[in-house]
Amino acid sequence: MPKIHFEPLLFCLAWAVLAVAGAVFYNIWAGVLLSFGLLLVLMPASALILTRMEDFKFERQVRWGILILAGLALAVWIKTRS
């Protein structure tokens, strides 16, 4: 059985929690937009960093940074809408 890498697993769980939080606290479309919107931003950013720099640590920092910014943006958006 292959070794489980906990950092990517934690990242996927955080991404899913963020999408579900958008759906629960605002509406289902916010969750869908968070899920697919982040997909359209994160995947090209990761691919660009890994193909040009081959720096896994920097890619991980950028990936988590984008996810944190999306979470903060969701929190501000929910706070201002209520």
Domain ranges of the chain: 27-76
Residue 41 pLDDT:
94
**Confidence band (pLDDT; 50, 70, 90) for 67?**
very high
Residue 59 pLDDT:
94
* Predicted TM-score (pTM) of this structure: 0.88
Burial code (b: 16+ CB inside 10 Å, e: under 16) for 1-26 equals eeeeeeeeeebeeebeebbebbbebb
Residue 73, amino acid: A
pLDDT digits (tens, 9 = 90+) for 12-60: 999 999 999 999 998 899 999 999 999 999 999 999 999 999 999 999 9
